[in-house]
Structure 1
């Protein structure tokens, strides 16, 4: 993709207004918290303290809207308290000398940018601390005042946290939505299998539900019963659906047995939809009787036999458990399986430090992001100070807020921030000119602007910036700052900060495109480990560790999602594909998804511990693990992977009477061959072309 096209695409992306689910009650609660701290500050401490507390409450509320499974009060407190510390330290250093503050800004920017290693929520909170610190350190005039301002900022976070505790809005709503989305995805999968018996399933909804089910100890004691075990049941239902539908191990492709399978899949979709609605809204399960009748029909035993019949009976039992678990207030919980407890913030510190240390290596995208943000922020601060404009902090603040570890988000946010700022300050200036608001009316207009931002922030960054800009104009107006003292400076310096951010990424990029082969190789290796773990269960049913299969499955899902995210980021980069074309990438991904499907079918028919070992399964597991590791190395080195060892063993492997094992083994080898074909000479020639 050329630079011109990339710039057009990112500009269009930044200005896109998306349809999103609005949360007006949550936004109202956040706006009320902001109004409380502004009103208290104006009434008792003056406009300066009111502005400080407003920044704390404002950023604390934004933190609670992030896509995190942490309790919302914890996010509000973390944002408010860390911002208070940043502000106080910034004033202590900045009041001494500009040079020392520049050093602190560099250290703070570098450390905050490294927090992206801990996840996007931590990165956003840390970046916001740097941005707001640039503003708040200019407000106090003495150390006691700085301590007072820091206390007011912390108080703003505390107020937001208390409001969340006292006035919860749709308690456990995010966890309900994640689990309901997983069940809805399973229902859709069941319906697609009726027409395409080998349809693929995107595991992302299940991964998101797993993340939502990882809770703190306090949350675990308070979690509704219907959220305990349905996710584990959904995990077990997916392979059963696939094994029932796939002609290689299930019913024949045509005939009465296939018709019954289609009826069972349709009924399963209806049952899962009913469970999804009940869990999402906390309502009783409403299910049409005919669907349960199909699942319980005795005719199924006359039409199906062997593996398909076992799958049908297993499906009916699992769906019964789903319905009982999803019934609010029933007290029925399925076995939740492994314990998934989220560490406290203090216990998380060593985990975050370990993740940060892992990124302190050459070639790390997070490290490059940290160096890039540090250089751009310091350059913006120096340039802003040198220009004959007031409020020099707006340039580095804009840079910090728009810069992200990837190209597309950085450039799209830079465009959106400037355009949103331009419109926002224009609208706010017009209101100020027409109304001439005083201190309290300016505070009220600031709260209204922030409330609208909270409501609409998920519809697009440009929309959010429009209301943020208006909020800042009204907030500064509380202290008597005239619009003509802020608007021209803010627009000009915001443009400067955005341009510096874009220039910084262009000069010191962290392109995802050259790493695509590495991501693909990671997926190949993870799937090989998953397949080997499943085959190990057939090799030694009595001594098999079921947890090994689960860990390998999760690792393969993580690798798949990492590959897809990398592919999405690379698509918008102004870089030629090095070693793999988009067509080859799509073909290889399709083949690997089919490989995962084949292994899942094997997992669906794992032998009981009392069964005898399958001859040759251990040898094939070793060959598959070795071949995929070597194949992953070949992919990284831009060679075509070969699977000769697997091919030789699979020719004589498995008991002839075991259709499940034979069919899955053949499909695994076929998928591996398709990966090699996708990465073969034709694909390389296409890339050069």
Structure 2
């Protein structure tokens, strides 16, 4: 009899999990052209200290350089870089004029601000991270340059990588303007996801495929929004991409309704979306699209959506992206609400404690001649932020990665010529960062090699042992402080995400029921419906991601989000059912009795789940019209 191995606890399983996927060769090339060449140019100009700062800016920008469109990269790389430059200014000024106690209090306040702002979203989180890292570097890194020079050098390094990101052609991008290659890939992925969902209809994979479709739509929407990269925003290429994205929304709606019904679709149904995906990637005409059998409301909606898509592809007119700007009030609530307060307090306590310990050890001359006290708080930043991963998982990966990276660098430092060999090592490390981001330990090892090389290029001795000691001490501080009891109820980040998803789902349902009361929707009402459906699925995906991270914390922290997963699962089914109702309304102009029963059952289940979990969610009474 075979005995199965016991399952690993979630916090350990998360530490061992790595992302998979093809090698991002474009990002590898950009990484090789970023920190290394910037540092080389500064060394040749005899401005080595500023070159080190510029290389740090390029390195941090490289960590944020993820797959996607060029316009999305402007915000994803640019906003954190600006925050990092501000952090260097604040840190340099504070380090020059404040004593240990005042410096600790100031940086703790900066940690509170950066942590609270990080609750807004991924870009804000990246900005908060670079603000804290740069402020600690500015306060502690012994450089001869003024604060404004450091900030300018930091922006130069990050700006250089961003410029390479915008200008460098994408490999294998042969169709149309290469600057829109990321947008084309994202829109094509939506049609592929629609086809995959149609293939999975009636099977156990339908839920997973629907989640993948949501992710593809989110990425395409993000890719098509953001700063303009052309002089004229109404270019033909951009209008065509907008039209192709907008044409995918009714297809996604029909596919979701078909999957909710549980009826299997023929291979003919998914052939059309796949041809549309090929047309987007290749910039070619769609050609004849096979029509599915019109035997059910969802199949009739799918056929109509394919006809609409064929017309949209031929005309190439701009389409609505069906997105609304996030209200300023929602951003303020994210910062000052329960989630933002908990996030900010956790970051402030850990960052402030790391600064306090580092200041004490620094002034007690524990460091000897190597004044790297800023490593301690900078390391704590990457460990403590909840949206970056569970605390224990990141501590384990950080410790292992630092030890590995420091040992590797010690070997390289013994044989490489200086400074040319170290500059080459910086370039190689920059190229490896995009690949190493698949696992935090691997990323830490690569970054450790890069940082230690920068330290030696700056004229300091080899510091592998000190780097290991600083990291292990930071890990211990974060483990202790990060698990201390805090005022208020824990799990605020998860609760705020679930509440946002709950509100978006009910807003979407209310709109669809309003269409039912009017006997069917107008084209304008359908456009609003697609916008609300996108918001509902996006907020549900964000809530699901927050819950997954919280569940991988240690048990006494993970218990604060217990029950949230069941609520989100019910909300997802409610939104799926609402989508099926919307398709039924378009087909017949009325809500079928079985759909009303499904909605009533799901709303009752949601109420019961809320009572069991103890999560406080807004009550939204909804009249169900037959």
TM value normalised by structure 2 = 0.80
Aligned pair 1:355/2:331, yes or no? yes
Matched length: 586
Give a deviation string over 1:217-237, Cα, whole Å, max 9, x none. 556445545421233222212
Distance 1:338 1:139, change over 3 A: closer
The aligned residue for residue 212 of structure 1 is 223
The aligned residue for residue 183 of structure 1 is 191
Contact 1:135 1:393 in 2 (8 A): yes
Contact 2:55 2:154 in 1 (8 A): yes
Q: How does 1:10-409 map to 2 (within 5 A)?
A: 10-65=11-66, 70-73=71-74, 75-99=76-100, 100-139=102-141, 145-169=146-170, 171-193=179-201, 201-202=210-211, 203-218=214-229, 220-222=233-235, 223-241=237-255, 262-263=265-266, 266-279=267-280, 281-282=281-282, 284=284, 292-293=289-290, 295=292, 304=295, 308=296, 312-323=299-310, 325=312, 332-333=315-316, 336-337=319-320, 340=323, 351=328, 355-356=331-332, 358-361=334-337, 364-385=341-362, 386=364, 388-389=366-367, 390=370, 391-405=372-386, 408-409=389-390
SS where residue 599 of structure 2 aligns?
A: helix
SS where residue 228 of structure 1 aligns?
A: helix
SS where residue 23 of structure 2 aligns?
A: coil
2-side partners of 1:411 and 1:367: how far apart?
19
1-side partners of 2:577 and 2:510: how far apart?
12
Deviates more, 1:48-57 or 1:97-106: 97-106
Higher Rg: 1
Give a deviation string over 1:123-167, Cα, whole Å, max 9, x none. 22331232244334445565x644433332232233223323332
2-side partners of 1:112 and 1:469: how far apart?
24
Distance 1:286 1:82, change over 3 A: same
Aligned pair 1:495/2:481, yes or no? no
The aligned residue for residue 463 of structure 1 is 442
2-side partners of 1:65 and 1:578: how far apart?
32
Contact 2:491 2:561 in 1 (8 A): no
Give a deviation string over 1:472-502, Cα, whole Å, max 9, x none. 222222234222xx12211001111112112
Structure 2's unaligned 5+ residue stretches are 1-5, 174-178, 615-626
**Superposition RMSD in Å:** 4.0
Larger RCO: Structure 1 or Structure 2 (Cα < 8 Å, ≥ 6 residues apart)? 2
2-side partners of 1:487 and 1:529: how far apart?
55
The aligned residue for residue 510 of structure 2 is 532
2-side partners of 1:479 and 1:519: how far apart?
44
**Cα deviation, residue 188, structure 1:** 1.8
Distance 1:361 1:23, change over 3 A: closer
TM value normalised by structure 1 = 0.73
Distance 1:525 1:466, change over 3 A: closer
**Cα deviation, residue 95, structure 1:** 1.7
